Structure 1
Amino acid sequence: MVIGATGQIGRVAVGALARDGWEVTAVSRGGGRDASWPGEVHAVRADREDAAALAAAVGDGCDVLVDMVAFGPAHARQLTSLADRVGSAVVISSVSVYEDDKGRNFDTQAEPDGFPEYPVPIPEEQRTVRPGDTSYSTRKAGLERELLDAGGRLPATLLRAGAIHGPHCRTPRELYFVKRNLDGRPRRVIAFGGESRFHPASVHNIAELIRLAAARPGTRVLNAVDPDAPTVSEVARAIDEVMGVETESVLVDGPPPAPSVGDTPWSVPVPVVCDMAAAERELGYRPVVRYAETLPETVAWIEERLTGRDWREAYPKMLQSYGDLFDYTAEDAFLDR
């Protein structure tokens, strides 16, 4: 059973599991299907916030429950309440739970000297934020804690995903460069010398991890990222290549020179790069795609979403998360200076 089946990761994971021989029930609020799914996938409508509806969807039970949309301790308790009917679980978490050795994390990054300095690469043993209800990161940490503590009743693999990319993403970081290219912008400003590295995670590689974890039940935490972590400059050039354009990158040493200039969705002062050795060791994991290989489908999806629409209408969550990414007036003023 896959909860959140019609979301960004769920669409790919359902297909991967079905093709691997699983009998898959795809649960979503709308009860829809993806055109790529094999015909035998059973689609069910249920809102995971409705505990009774979710329990009814589980019915007499399932061997594996895959949860794409668990965001806090309450969702973890919802899953553990079904432990007598579920063989094991695979649940999506986030690299945002990590904290550096000085107690800095994603929630402190806006403070002076608040950006975390993680080891490169980050192992799963790195300390995490304290569970709570104050932020996305603390809720994910609470989700992890509840499920790990319940490992004796419900074995659960927690996958700490990086910067997820692929079609159907509500906050595609690639939008930053795709829209500039569509708008014919000849130059773009990139902070931190274009060297920022924020580890991406393809939906295809995450789906492969889900497939492997489903067949190997256990209580564990694993990073879920791509085999490579390109710099933001490398990302920009790769998108240019897909779109067949040539654009000049104006690199700025240090942080963005203005609030809406050069601050890409990947811009970080120090690397955020994760170690995949544990997944390789415990699941026999090998990545199925590399970042650049997946860009054509991502770019095509963004272009289609933008056709005839304002980007704020097409991607409202992107505006909410990052603010105005396309303040060309401020950008031109900086370039003119």
Structure 2
Amino acid sequence: MPKAVIVGGTGQIGLATARRLVGEAWEVTVVSRHPTALPDNCHHIEADARDAEKLCTVVGSDTDLLMSCVAFDAADAECLAQAGRAAGRILAISSASVYRDDEGRTLDEASGLGFPAFSVPLTEKSPTVAPGPETYSTRKVAMESALLSRAACPVTILRPCAIHGPESKHAREWWLVKRLLDGRAAIPLAYRGRSQFQTTSVAAIADAVGRAAAGNLPAIANVSDADSPTVAEIGRAIMDVMDVRAELVGLPDAPAYPPKLGATPWSIPQPMIVTGAASAEATYAQSVEPAVRWLVQHVGNDNWRERLPQLAGYPVDHFDYQADERALRLPGAASLAA
């Protein structure tokens, strides 16, 4: 029976991967700082992700896969490299945010410097930022570089984009799901609903982990859905799952980024489309149902900020319905036909 150790495995990526591996007869141990409910047949060990000494007692020569969902910088990579010296493979989750445009702009600085104009689709050969401690993306690149250079076993780096799935603390779909639950008859969408911000299902990530463990992926692999839906297409897919209908209304292009009205978590002025070695076979519409069902069943209007703390941490009011009404009256606002 193959064995996997998943560090920081209590979030949506770790849980989806654990379920996938257990279903394929893996023995799975999840390492996290606090005890938590886990999928059946998973073991739990309480430890910090940077406690290399403790991790070394968990990971041995019988560990086929050491995976980290919480490796953010070079220090995390060093810890993984030490703990995984005897492992068969180390896998770390990075991010497609590491890519830059020709002027060096990334997602990290978009609100201040302008949204990057990517040459799309982005592939594993597209330019990235330099490693360093300055931003989320530069730290991720530093993690990647350190792990690839210091690990004693094969390494796989996965770069997903806008992740969707159950048990998320940053569920972008809630922006639309809550409006539909609240009975909003019309929903305004910035940039005429045409924005494309690449999506990635946790099912696609779990599948990529299995492919990496079998040695069927390169050292760095982008993970994406089979398509890159527009915001309007995202809205229609969510409405199909919920069997609820609202009018989607496209707003004229905003003069600056981020837009003040109709700004969804996917609203961007230029497309960010990602493809690569671990692109999924399923489209967004085919894979989003688990995320939507989980939101409807487990996230309520009275506690959504507690259940989705990362989404709630945005410096905007996601559900300013008075602003929505102003947006719907803008000159040039137009209904989006399916």
TM-score calculated relative to the size of structure 2: 0.89
Superposition map of 1:1-337 within 5 A: 1-35=5-39, 37=40, 39=41, 41-59=42-60, 62-112=63-113, 114-150=114-150, 153-216=152-215, 220-255=219-254, 260-276=260-276, 278-279=277-278, 287=280, 289-307=282-300, 309-321=302-314, 323-336=316-329
**Equivalents in 2 of 1:195, 1:80: separation in Å?**
42
Deviations 1:192-211 (A, max 9, x none): 11111111111111101001
Structure 1 164/157 Cα, relative in aligned 2: closer, same or farther at 3 Å? same
CA separation in 1, counterparts of 2:115 and 2:61?
47
How far apart, CA to CA, are the structure 2 residues paired with 1:106 and 1:196? Answer: 15
Question: Helix, strand or coil: the match of 1:24?
Answer: strand
Q: Is the 8 A contact 1:192 1:254 kept in 2?
A: yes
Q: Which whole-Å CA distance do the structure 2 matches of 1:308 and 1:20 have between them?
A: 37
Once residues 172 and 84 of structure 1 are traced to their aligned partners in structure 2, the CA distance between those partners, rounded to angstroms, is 35
Pairwise CA distance, 1:249: 1.5
Q: Distance in 1 between matches of 2:241 and 2:216?
A: 39
CA gap 1:155/1:134 in 2 versus in 1, 3 angstroms: same
Moved over 6 A (4+): none
SS at structure 2 position matched to 1:146: helix
Bigger drift between 243-252 and 187-196 goes to 243-252
C-alpha distance in 1 between matches for 2:247 and 2:190: 14
Instruction: Provide the C-alpha distance between the structure 1 equivalents of 2:220 and 2:245, rounded to a whole number of angstroms.
Output: 41
Instruction: Show CA shifts across 1:91-148 (max 9, x none).
Output: 1110000011221111221135x21122221111111112122221111111111112
Moved more, 78-87 or 6-15: 78-87
1:288 positional shift: 5.5
State the distance in 2 between where 1:55 and 1:309 align.
42
Aligned equivalents of 1:98, 1:319: Cα separation in 2: 26
SS of 2:318's equivalent in the other structure is coil
- Displacement after TM superposition at 1:19 (Å): 2.8
Distance 1:195 1:74, change over 3 A: same
CA distance in 2, matches of 1:191, 1:256: 11
Distance 2:22 2:281 in 1: 17
Q: Are the aligned partners of 1:256 and 1:263 in contact in 2 as well (CA < 8 Å)? A: no
2:102 & 2:56 partners in 1: Cα distance?
A: 40
How many Å separate the matches in 1 of 2:107 and 2:259? 18
The alignment covers a number of residue pairs equal to 325
Distance between the aligned counterparts of 2:228 and 2:217, measured in 1? 28
In structure 2, C-alpha distance between the alignment counterparts of 1:9 and 1:59, rounded to whole Å: 23
| Deviation for aligned residue 1:265 | 0.3
RMSD across aligned C-alpha pairs, in angstroms? 2.2
| C-alpha deviation, 1:323, in angstroms | 2.4
Question: Which secondary structure state, in structure 1, belongs to the residue aligned with residue 245 of structure 2?
Answer: coil
**Taking structure 1 as the reference length, what is the TM-score of the superposition?**
0.89
Cα offset for 1:12? 1.5
User: Can you give the 5+ residue segments of structure 1 that lack an aligned partner in the other structure?
Assistant: 280-285
For 1:96, the aligned partner's letter is S
Structure 1 residue 53, shift from structure 2 partner = 2.5
